[in-house]
């Protein structure tokens, strides 16, 4: 790596702070810059200044980009930031925090991405690795930043790394033991500029694996068909709808693996604690990646059967006078809501209704597909928040009447007042949370609190 570098960290979110600490510890001269003023950053960011990091807050100084030997770009900062051009013109590497330790984790890393399901699949991979007797950690975009996760690793730890489209844009050095791409559905168009650019970023995960390492694709999504045909082999396909020759599939209500010309049964659909067709893809994808990487079947099966929904992901949180409340606050795009509606319909009696809470901050999404899905699955839309009026207008233009409310808590109370025993109130908002909350978890917590305030029976 040579001597100390002039390292510039752009963005002081969770990943940026971790990168600054890592670079400082290895002896680099570190400048960290953020568009927010110092008083709006958290204590952890302020502490970096006291620890030896030069902080430039309230905007970016082009001179810092000119002086840098290395730029570490945080996921929240777009690669189109104008000041980056000065670094590019000098040939300065612009990398993600993950690249800083790629050489230490590569052969023991499994990369997981997708528009939906990546956090659940990342957690599944970590639990399967632990069941197989490995020191394993879920990290990256979920859990700890990778540079923190490697601390204390004697050299045998495995890493289940959730990697976002933002991180994929600037991650170049990872050579993982397996890579998983679950799906690509419209999301983050406000950041990437177009669906095509977003899809191209997701496709980059195929390049971040070692020679001979498997690429696992959820090929029920037609957006992955081109990659399945062109990616460097081996490519393994996963489907909940059809048999595949190499990968994983659902047949006769069983999850099957087809690896190396041999078929094995992972689990029965009814044995899983994760609801929905999309979760069958998640479970299969995790198991296919690890089975192809040489892990035995039995611990993968044990972990799959023991795994329960993560918080804010189709998590049943309350029962109020026979009405179930389900928190899917992580359903921040239209594709996630479509899957949630199908998954919840499987759990309901015929004729039961799904009061679906939709709203938050719009990410330039196309809400039109929700209309047909709500009609097909017995969904009644209750809109709230900043994007609520636009969602309601789109649905009503398609012939689906929406119930318009203001705040999330009002939407919860109103849905509960209309629901009958056997119905379900589902928070699956199709939007980001930043109109009223600090993140999807805070929004989910608010939903849970509102539901449990009405509850006569709490679901543990």
Beta carbons within 8 Å of 370's beta carbon, 6+ residues apart: 334, 337, 338, 358, 381, 391, 394, 395, 400, 430
Determine the distance from the C-alpha atom of residue 415 to the mean position of all C-alpha atoms in its chain, rounded to a whole number. Answer: 28
Per-residue pLDDT of the chain (460 residues; tens, 9 = 90+): 467 899 999 999 999 999 999 999 999 999 999 999 999 998 999 999 999 999 999 999 999 999 999 999 999 899 999 999 999 999 999 999 999 999 999 899 999 999 999 999 999 999 999 999 999 999 999 999 999 999 999 899 999 999 999 999 999 999 999 999 999 998 888 889 999 999 999 999 999 999 999 999 999 999 999 999 999 999 999 999 999 999 999 999 999 999 999 999 999 999 999 999 999 999 999 999 999 999 999 999 999 999 999 999 999 999 999 999 999 999 999 999 999 999 999 999 999 999 999 999 999 999 999 999 999 999 999 999 999 999 999 999 999 999 999 999 999 999 999 999 999 999 999 999 999 999 999 999 999 999 999 975 455 4
Angle between the N-to-C axes of helices 297-306 and 277-292, in degrees from 0 to 180, rounded to the nearest 10: 150
List the CATH code of the domain at 99-306: 3.40.1190.10
Distance CA 110, CA 127 (A): 13
Which one of the listed residues 116, 141, 183, 279 is annotated catalytic?
Answer: 141
Q: What's the confidence (pLDDT) of residue 1?
A: 45
For domain 315-458, say whether CATH 2.60.40.3950 is its number: no
Is 384 in contact with 410 (CB distance < 8 Å)? yes
Distances in Å between the Cα of 380 and the Cα atoms of 46, 373, 390, 430, 450 are 46, 10, 16, 15, 19
Beta carbons within 8 Å of 302's beta carbon, 6+ residues apart: 131
Q: What's the confidence (pLDDT) of residue 221?
A: 97
Which one of the listed residues 60, 118, 278, 414 is annotated catalytic?
Answer: 118
Q: What's the confidence (pLDDT) of residue 360?
A: 98
Q: What residue has token string 């649905």?
A: 395
Catalogue the E-assigned strands of 219-285. Answer: 235-239, 247-251, 254-259, 262-268
Q: Summarize pLDDT for 437-455 with one digit per residue, the tens.
A: 999 999 999 999 999 999 7
Distance CA 48, CA 180 (A): 35
Give the pair of three-digit tokens for residue 428.
């699956």
Which one of the listed residues 60, 188, 278, 312 is annotated catalytic?
Answer: 188
Query: Where exactly are the structural domains of the chain?
Result: 6-95, 99-306, 315-458
Give the pair of three-digit tokens for residue 158.
């495995």
Q: What is the fold, at CATH topology level, of the domain defined by 6-95?
A: Rossmann fold (3.40.50)
The yes-or-no answer on residue 188 being catalytic is: yes
The yes-or-no answer on residue 141 being catalytic is: yes
User: DSSP 3-state assignment of 70?
Assistant: strand
Q: How many helices (H) and strands (E) would you count in the chain?
A: 18, 21
| Cα-based angle 244, 247, 250 (whole degrees, multiple of 5) | 60
Give the pair of three-digit tokens for residue 49.
């200044």
Distance CA 454, CA 323 (A): 11
Is 354 in contact with 378 (CB distance < 8 Å)? yes
């Amino acid at each position: 790596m040579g001597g100390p570098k002039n390292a510039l960290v752009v963005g002081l979110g969770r990943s940026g702070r971790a990168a600054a600490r890592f670079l400082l510890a290895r002896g680099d001269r570190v400048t960290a810059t953020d568009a927010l003023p110092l008083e709006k950053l958290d204590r952890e960011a302020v502490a970096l200044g006291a620890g030896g990091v030069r902080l430039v807050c309230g905007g970016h100084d082009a001179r810092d980009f000119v002086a840098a030997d290395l730029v570490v770009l945080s996921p929240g900062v777009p690669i189109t930031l104008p000041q980056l051009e000065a670094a590019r013109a000098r040939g300065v590497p612009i990398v993600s925090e993950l690249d800083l330790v790629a050489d230490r984790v590569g052969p023991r890393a499994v990369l997981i991405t997708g528009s939906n399901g990546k956090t659940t699949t990342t957690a599944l991979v970590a639990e399967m690795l632990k069941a197989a007797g490995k020191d394993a950690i879920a990290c990256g975009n979920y859990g700890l930043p990778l540079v923190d996760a490697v601390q204390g690793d004697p050299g045998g730890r495995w890493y289940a790394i959730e990697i976002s489209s933002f991180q994929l844009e600037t991650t170049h050095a990872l050579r993982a033991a397996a890579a998983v791409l679950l799906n690509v559905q419209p999301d983050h168009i406000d950041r990437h500029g177009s669906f095509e650019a977003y899809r191209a970023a997701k496709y980059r995960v195929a390049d971040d694996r070692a020679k001979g390492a498997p690429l696992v694709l959820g090929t029920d999504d037609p957006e992955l068909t081109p990659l399945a045909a062109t990616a460097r082999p081996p490519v393994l396909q996963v489907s909940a709808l059809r048999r595949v020759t190499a990968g994983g599939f659902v047949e006769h209500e069983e999850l099957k693996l087809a690896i190396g010309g041999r078929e094995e049964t992972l689990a029965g659909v009814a044995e899983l604690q994760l609801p929905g067709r999309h979760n069958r893809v998640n479970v299969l994808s995790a198991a296919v990646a690890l089975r192809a990487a040489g892990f035995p079947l039995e611990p993968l099966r044990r972990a799959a059967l023991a795994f329960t929904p993560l918080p804010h992901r189709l998590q049943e949180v309350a029962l109020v006078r026979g009405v179930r409340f389900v928190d899917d606050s992580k359903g921040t795009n239209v594709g996630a809501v479509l899957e949630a509606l199908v998954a919840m319909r499987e759990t309901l009696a015929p004729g039961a209704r799904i009061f679906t809470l939709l709203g938050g901050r719009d990410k330039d999404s196309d809400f039109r597909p929700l209309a047909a899905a709500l009609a097909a699955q017995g969904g009644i839309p209750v809109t709230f928040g900043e994007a609520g009026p636009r969602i309601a207008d789109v649905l009503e233009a398609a012939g689906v009447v929406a119930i318009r409310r203001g705040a999330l808590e009002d939407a919860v109370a109103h849905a509960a007042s209309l629901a009958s025993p056997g119905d379900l109130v589902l928070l699956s908002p199709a939007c980001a949370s930043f109109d009223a909350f600090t993140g999807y978890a805070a929004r989910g917590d608010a939903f849970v609190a509102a539901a449990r305030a009405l509850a006569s029976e709490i679901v543990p």
